Amino acid sequence: MHLLHRSLTLVSFICIASAAAGAEGAEPVRIQSEKHAFRVGIISDDLQNPWGMAFLPGGDLLVTERPGRLRLIRDGELLRTPVAGLPEITEHGQGGLLGIALHPRFPAVPWVYLSYAGAGKGGYGTEVIRGKLDGLKLVDVQRVFAAMPKSGGGRHFGSRLVFGRDGTLFISLGERGEQDYAQDLGDHRGTLVRVNEDGSVPADNPFVGMQGARPEIYTYGNRNIQGLALHPQTGMLWAHEHGPQGGDEVNILRPGVNYGWPVITYGVNYGTGTKIGEGTHKEGMAQPIYTWVPSIAPSGMTFYTGAEFPGWMGNLFVGSLKFGVLVRLELDGKRVLREERLLDGAFGRIRDVVQGPGGRLYLLTDERRGRLLVLSRAG
């Protein structure tokens, strides 16, 4: 599982430097990867710590900014005025306005779902709202979920949002830096939760009716899930999550399963390098299908299904905050066969990756002056 060939695509220093220094509208940079030559274009370099994005029918793009703004990009231009109608959202450490997802029947059902760090008694916790998009405004805004209990600190809010094929909503929740709660079914921290589109609890959730358990919980023992994607063929939910020092994981998430944190992990304690928990394996706790040691700090995740890059069909793409690379994983069913690392840190911290109209890949960089990048095929 771990002794795989991992390659880093290299480009000239001059090419990388010019890409990193380029501004909006700069000439796209050409990069040669193992399977395709591609170009990296900069659509916008004026986003403040962008975190998540979702394409609307017709090609408009909604982008969340961690300080609490929802932005619209239309015809390749970032509109100056943010989308109105959101509640007041405060940036708090790693928290702020984070994940985004559209209702599966959008625009016939025009709900936009947003996750953020909500303040309340005890501190902060991940919350999810939905609102109907009406031009440049959200109307009829409703809160559909709030993780409990809230806690202090500014770490590990999770916050990726994905709809399953059955129309239920998956919400990733970090353990907020308080690791032992990830093993407590009476606490939302360190779990993946599943709710109906209106926030009610699906009757077939695995812990419904269990005394002392939060009925929204779908999986537990998760440290901080920062990537969620449905497999295009099987419909199964794949995720990656941050390990501590080492031990980032890719998992396939199944109902009721314990993914081990902090009892088992492939990482170690920061600074000291000492062991965490009981090792890497324990009966009754799931093993990841892939790990990164050292950590890459993964964020954002998508399966590629487009026509722009036929050699990448079925590959899994993951952004890296730590190294500023775009990781391409070749798969054989549930096995990772090969890893290739693209971009070599040229554009900064990769926060999100999605497939857009026509099969191009779009990336967000998590910087105070963050960028929206587009990857298109070059010859």
Residues in contact with 245: Cβ distance below 8 Å, sequence separation at least 6, in sequence order: 267, 268, 269, 270, 271, 273, 294, 295
Q: At 253, list the tokens.
A: 């998430």
Q: What are phi and psi of 310, to 5 degrees?
A: -60, -30
- Distance between CA 129 and CA 149 in Å, rounded? 17
In the sheet with 97-102, reading across from the earlier edge strand, the strands are: 97-102, 111-120, 123-134, 137-146
For the question of residue 242 being annotated catalytic, the response is no
The DSSP 8-state label assigned to residue 108 in this structure reads T
C-alpha distances (whole Å) from 333 to each of 51, 83, 311 are 29, 40, 17
* Closest listed residue to residue 218, CA positions, set 273, 162, 266: 162
Q: What are phi and psi of 261, to 5 degrees?
A: -70, 135
- Distance between CA 171 and CA 160 in Å, rounded? 6
Annotated catalytic residue within 92, 103, 156, 242: 156
Q: At 241, list the tokens.
A: 């999550």
Q: Residue holding tokens 């509208």? A: 25
Pairing label, strands 111-120, 123-134: antiparallel
Is the distance from CB of 362 to CB of 304 less than 8 angstroms? no
In the sheet with 350-355, reading across from the earlier edge strand, the strands are: 29-32, 37-47, 370-377, 361-365, 350-355
- Distance between CA 348 and CA 319 in Å, rounded? 11
Q: How far is CA 329 from the centre of its chain?
A: 16
- Distance between CA 10 and CA 168 in Å, rounded? 41
The catalytic site residues sit at: 156
